[in-house]
Structure 1
Amino acid sequence: MGLEHWLQSIPDLWIYVVVGLVIGVESLGIPLPGEIVLVSASLMAAKGIVDPLLVGGCATAGAIVGDSIGFSIGHRGGQGLFDRLGRRFPRHFGPGHVGRAKALFRRWGVWAVFFGRFVALLRILAGPLAGALHLPYWRFLAANVLGAILWAGGTTAVVYYLGVAAERWLKQLSWAALALVVVFGLVTMVWVRRRARS
């Protein structure tokens, strides 16, 4: 059984549920690969396996609900919550990460919630940190909703249309050319990550 056949055998409903849950839990403050799940589902939509509008809608709903729950948890737990998380998960919630996120919130306020949707570290910390810093909920919610719609909808649309175009293009390539494209993409990704870290 090939991968494509296996993917098509998964009921559509479960794909939408997984997209919404993973992005919701990530937005809640738990590090999960929400962006990878969204991109994968969008590529599946490009192949006609799922509906891109439902993928984008579930991703948006998961992001909004997850961030709102994260806001509530952060509001109740305050700085003590981040201290405990920093001891347990220093790679994601260490003092350096939380300190940088706090500095962004102090400088940009509610805009950090909106733009934080597009940055991996802030996507995880935005809700709980906004709650812990006592941002007014209505302002947080407005930035949360707008950021979620733009991030989830935009990512789904871009990946979907690129996937459709790539599907047509790849049908015309030989296997050797396909391997060359994959190697080039991997090398470029590694190079960009190293540049971003430095």
Structure 2
Amino acid sequence: MTTETTAADGSWLSALVDAVVGLMDVIGPYGAGVAIAAENLFPPLPSEAILPMAGLAASRGSFALWEAILWTTVGSVVGALLLYGLGAWFGLERLRWVAGKLPLVKVDDVDRTVAWFERHGGKAVFFGRFVPIFRSLISIPAGVVHMPLWRFTLLTAAGSLIWNTIFVLVGWYLGESWHIVEQYMDVFQNIVIAVVVIAVVWFVVARVVAIRRERRDPAAE
């Protein structure tokens, strides 16, 4: 497998795809698994670019299609478990202590978030696998609240299997034109980032307004 299929624009994405291709050249489908595990640990790495390359390699006979799906899913689970472990190590008490030291953040915010996650954490972990950036970050609060490891692993594997299969098959069927889908996923990822930024801005503005109201009327919540 050569790097001739990568984009020729000299972007960081092109360099990333070249690196993934090189990994798959050297160690086969395990290379795609390693790349997907890294994508979990470093969310800006786009699985939408990595997964189709595994499908393309499989379509060329470098390895079987089922191997591409299996090892990318294993990579997703391994990366998620590492972040889960980070959250479990940090723990709820440390998180509450940090929240108490941060401006505009209250310990109650952490408690409410934990309560929400305990009610909806399973859905968040499963469906979060389909959302750029969140599919990585959702593993940390799961570790903080000590979601049962078997449940976290099962939900992560199920969601990752669906996501990875879709994009590996995209690479399998589209071949050299895999980057067409990647362009649309770039738009989707930018929308997610914009929504997150808007939510953060809204939170900051709302909290500043609430603090000013409390200072004017100490009896107000």
Quickly say closer, same or farther: Cα 1:70–1:40, change in 2 above 3 A.
same
Quickly say closer, same or farther: Cα 1:192–1:14, change in 2 above 3 A.
same
Q: Which residue of 1 aligns with 2:144?
A: 132
Residue pairs, 1:83-98, within 5 angstroms:
none
Identity of matched residues, %: 27
Q: Distance in 2 between matches of 1:83 and 1:49?
A: 51
Q: Which residue of 1 aligns with 2:90?
A: 77
Q: Which residue of 1 aligns with 2:67?
A: 54
Which of the pair has more CA radius of gyration? Answer: 2
Among residues 36, 40, 55, which one is paired with 1:23 in the alignment? Answer: 36
Quickly say closer, same or farther: Cα 1:105–1:23, change in 2 above 3 A.
farther
Q: CA deviation at 1:10?
A: 7.3
Q: CA deviation at 1:2?
A: 7.5
Runs of 4+ in structure 1 off by over 6 angstroms are 6-11, 81-84, 188-191
Q: Is the 8 A contact 1:74 1:129 kept in 2?
A: yes
AA partner of residue 3 (structure 1): E
Deviations 1:133-185 (A, max 9, x none): 22222221221121122222232123312338x69xxxxxxxxxxxxxx7xx9
Determine if the alignment matches structure 1 residue 160 to structure 2 residue 172: yes
AA partner of residue 39 (structure 1): P
Determine if the alignment matches structure 1 residue 123 to structure 2 residue 132: no
AA partner of residue 69 (structure 1): L
AA partner of residue 169 (structure 2): A
Is there any run of 5+ residues in structure 2 with no aligned partner, and where? 6-17, 99-104, 196-221
Q: Which residue of 1 aligns with 2:125?
A: 113
Q: Distance in 1 between matches of 2:162 and 2:128?
A: 12
When the two structures are superposed, what TM-score results if normalisation uses the length of structure 1? 0.62
Q: Distance in 1 between matches of 2:38 and 2:3?
A: 30
AA partner of residue 158 (structure 2): L
AA partner of residue 143 (structure 1): L
Q: Distance in 1 between matches of 2:158 and 2:96?
A: 26
When the two structures are superposed, what TM-score results if normalisation uses the length of structure 2? 0.57
Is there any run of 5+ residues in structure 1 with no aligned partner, and where? 85-94, 168-181
Quickly say closer, same or farther: Cα 1:82–1:125, change in 2 above 3 A.
farther
AA partner of residue 24 (structure 1): A
- Any idea what SS the aligned residue of 1:151 has? helix
Q: Distance in 2 between matches of 1:42 and 1:62?
A: 15
Q: Distance in 2 between matches of 1:34 and 1:19?
A: 12
Computed over aligned residues only, the root mean square deviation of the Cα atoms, in angstroms, reads 3.9
